[in-house]
């Protein structure tokens, strides 16, 4: 069961996110809504870290960096990792299309807007496909393999 490893990763990620929220809030304190929302999200993230800590004892969580998980291209865990990376890449592309969509509207560029709408819809489809596939792959990779 690799749940412990994933718990360790989640703790790291949540802790990192908390720090980023705090840092962002401080650097953008003059964007007041951003400041306040970031601080409250940081508190949420820190709360998640605390919740994970008690679960981690049960699952013997390891630090993500020195985990003993052996993900290979040809095993269940390897596929799950690759799908996760793809999902993150597709999400980055997706939110960038959102920016472009807004820009195209403001620039009144109909040609750009039509390209944005077509492409963004396709990327959103990819994100959903990756979500569907990750949901199917995760139980076997994390619990059985």
CB 142 within 8 A of CB 80: yes
Closer of 49 and 141 to another protein (Cβ): 141
In this complex, which beta carbon is closest to another protein, that of residue 33 or of residue 144?
144
The C-alpha atoms of residue 8 and residue 15 are separated, in whole angstroms, by 11
- CB of 54: closest distance to another protein in angstroms? 21
Site for another protein in 66-105 (CB under 8 A): 74-76
| Interface characters, 4-43, with another protein (x: CB under 8 A) | ----------------------------------------
Beta strands in the chain, from DSSP E residues, in sequence order: none
Alpha-carbon distance of 125 to 137, in angstroms, equals: 18
Tell me: does residue 114 bind another protein (CB under 8 A).
no
Look-up of token digits 């994390």? 142
């Amino acid at each position: 069961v690799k749940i412990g490893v994933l718990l360790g990763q989640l703790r790291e990620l949540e802790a990192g996110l908390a720090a980023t929220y705090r840092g962002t809030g401080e650097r953008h304190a003059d964007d007041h809504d951003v400041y306040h929302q970031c601080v409250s999200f940081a508190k949420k993230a820190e709360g998640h870290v605390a919740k994970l800590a008690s679960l981690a004892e049960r699952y013997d969580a390891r630090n993500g960096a020195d985990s003993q998980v052996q993900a290979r291209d040809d095993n269940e865990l390897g596929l799950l990792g690759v799908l996760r990376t793809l999902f993150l890449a597709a999400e980055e592309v997706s939110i960038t299309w959102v920016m472009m969509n807004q820009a195209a509207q403001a620039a009144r560029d109909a040609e750009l807007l039509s390209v944005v709408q077509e492409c963004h819809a396709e990327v959103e489809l990819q994100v959903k496909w990756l979500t569907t596939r990750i949901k199917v792959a995760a139980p076997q990779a994390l619990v059985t393999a």
